[in-house]
A and B are shown apart, each in its own frame.
Chain A
């Protein structure tokens, strides 16, 4: 058996003086979709942030290997170029920098990293427009500032669009389903499905079952108080939907 794409061992992390991750163990093989569920404050977003290298988090113990290399040793931009994509729960607005520029700069940064030629403006537009169609986004989108004045749903769609253009090996989607109406949820789910392939892995961080109705996970993990307290198949998510988290929290305490 090959090593999994992502391998997290005994990961402990702090923000300021607070321990937010208290020993996470998780393996995500290529080709699989894993869902990480859990109540508010369980450490779901912290895990996403630590994987992407957000400043402010200190890893105090444990390791994360991605494609066999030490992910934690890389600065955030190199993790991105290696193929780690974080879909933000709250994507920032950057007025004055347009979406097209950011996308192309990001794409070319990754391609240079892989010693591939940069895409020219024409090829880039062709690529992006096809993806935008999939995400049902208007072309005017491209010339607008990054997330500038976007509704919550538009921001999430934009995150998925970026993911589809960058084609990461590992996509960590942090509460991408929150704040979406049912139509937007379907579009976002379809976008995620598009990325599913044997060489990629997707980690869905979510509070609710509803995204999982559209993107069926291979594995479901429950995070509580900084630890994974239970893992199972898709049926676990359904059980959580029925029973809530409390019965598992008692275990974790």
Chain B
């Protein structure tokens, strides 16, 4: 910081930080030309307006209060070694690659950068200074995903994963930033080549601070008949500020199964845009947001049916405890070209305590008649009859409630097919729901 903060406009600040980052010699992973484009877009877009539908349930003040300049490489042993002990257990059969504050960390990674089924590159191994993006079908971020532009501007490292066979990989993104000095910009570009198959576990962990910003950008491209099982777990510290963008394109016959668990951070926003570009694609999204205290977790999904005969299914659940708030918005666009589309959405919110809040927005935009599209959304408290059933079996009321909250998110949890991961996620979830002892027998 050169001087104490004086109130500056968003654009002034963005320009200032951008110039500062260059002046400080941050080595961007993104090519200059793309950064200039993203800067121009970010400046033109500014911050979301209050009435902007895409940001209606988001909390933005912590983002603007946070530092935006990127963190330096955290490669000192004093930082790395304590992390080693805190990492989740390795998943059998999975390689692990770790990024700390957005930078590749060789000493914590247990897989080499090259695998039999594909290749992972990062700055040190000469990742190209682009998005994998310049490919024809790449999705560009829009104002709904505007924080991806900030990632373009400030990311100094990133993972580029190309899968040409079969691969199972875990990517851990750990933030160590604890003060206002810097932000973390995890960046991931995934390309699953034709007929290839990837199981990817992407986890975001780590310490935070009321103004410590982690701003993730993920791009996914599935070529024809590629398959991706993608697990995204956001389990940041309870005071972290977490911004996240995922842009995905599916070519014909591609199959993408995305499961996400948002259970950390004080302020979290995920913006997902998924385009079913090719014909006969399949997409499923299963997601859970769990909040308590005064946390805010906002997820906005935009799903575009472009190709013909594609299927999409979304199951989104939110459980808000304490005085927290959850936003779950999912918009399905069926283009006139997308005849034969079949789209289902189910959004459910559970308010666990007075003072908590759940906001749902299931949106359908249908532009052809040759379509099957439906959605259902409910919010409510636990069902009295079900609760009584449990009480009549001798279960105490508090456990019964937690049990039903657990059951409520069961249809998402059951989609975690990796036993080890599922157990880890369930353990965290159980301790987050409270009354861990009672629920542990469930696992």
Contact = CB atoms under 8 A, between A and B. Distances in A.
Q: Do A and B come from one complex?
A: yes
Interface of A: 52-56, 75-77, 79-81, 85-86, 88, 91-92, 94-98, 101-102, 104-106, 109-110, 113, 145, 162, 166
Given A53-B391, A91-B389, 5 more contacts: A79-B392, A94-B404, A94-B407, A98-B442, A109-B396
Residue among A53, A98, A102, A113 having the largest count of chain B Cβ atoms under 10 Å:
A102
Contacts of A77: 391-397, 400
Contacts of A94: 386, 389-390, 404, 407
Interface residues of B, number: 29
Nearest to A88: B389
A81 to B, nearest CB: 5
Given A54-B388, A92-B383, A97 B442 contact: yes
B392 A86 contact: yes
A75 B387 CA distance: 13
B410 interface: yes
Given A55-B384, A101-B441, A105-B441, A96 B392 contact: no
Contacts of B438: 105
Given A55-B388, A94-B386, A105-B399, A80 B393 contact: yes
Interface in B24-77: none
Contact of B392 (A52, A98, A105, A145): A52
Contacts of B442: 97-98, 101
Contacts of B389: 88, 91-92, 94
Q: Please list the 4 inter-chain residue pairs (A to B) with the smallest Cβ-Cβ separation, ordered nearest first.
A: A96-B410, A96-B407, A80-B394, A76-B391
B408 interface: yes
Contact of A76 (B383, B388, B408): B388
5 contacts: A52-B392, A80-B394, A96-B414, A97-B407, A145-B410
Nearest to B396: A77
B406 interface: yes
A96 B409 contact: yes
A52 B389 CA distance: 10
Contacts of B441: 101, 104-105
A155 B10 CA distance: 60
Contact of A109 (B388, B395, B410): B395
B248 to A, nearest CB: 28
A168 B414 CA distance: 33
Contact of B395 (A53, A54, A105, A145): A105
B17 interface: no
B411 interface: yes
Interface string B414-443: 100000000000000000000000100110
B394 A109 contact: yes
B407 A95 contact: yes
B277 to A, nearest CB: 34
Contacts of A162: 393
Contact of A95 (B384, B400, B410): B410
Nearest to B391: A76
B116 interface: no
A104 B394 CA distance: 11
A113 B384 CA distance: 24
Nearest to B414: A96
Contacts of B408: 96
Contacts of B386: 92, 94
Contacts of A102: 390, 393, 395
Contact of A145 (B396, B407, B409): B407
Contacts of B393: 77, 80, 102, 105-106, 109, 162, 166
